[in-house]
Amino acid sequence: MSATADHADGKEQPNLAARLGLEAGWIVQEIGYDDDCDDDLRDAIRAVTGEEFVDDETDEVVDVVLLWFREEDGDLVDAFFDILTDLKAGGVVWLMTPKVGRDGYVEGSEIAEAAPTAGLSTTSTLSVTDDWSATKLVVPKSGRRG
pLDDT of 5 strictly over 70: no
pTM exceeding 0.85: yes
- How far apart are alpha carbons 94 and 10 in whole angstroms? 24
What residues does 29 pair with on adjacent strands? 54, 65
Kindly report the length of the chain.
146
pLDDT at 6: 39
pLDDT digits (tens, 9 = 90+) for 119-142: 999 999 999 999 999 999 999 876
Q: Which residue has the higher pLDDT, 56 or 17?
A: 56
pLDDT at 15: 73
What residues does 126 pair with on adjacent strands? 134
Task: State whether residue 87 is helix, strand or coil.
Answer: strand
pLDDT of 108 strictly over 50: yes
Q: Which residues contact 134 (CB under 8 A, 6 or more apart)?
A: 20, 94, 95, 96, 125, 126, 127, 128
CB 65 within 8 A of CB 81: no
pLDDT digits (tens, 9 = 90+) for 25-69: 999 999 999 999 999 999 999 999 999 999 999 999 999 999 999
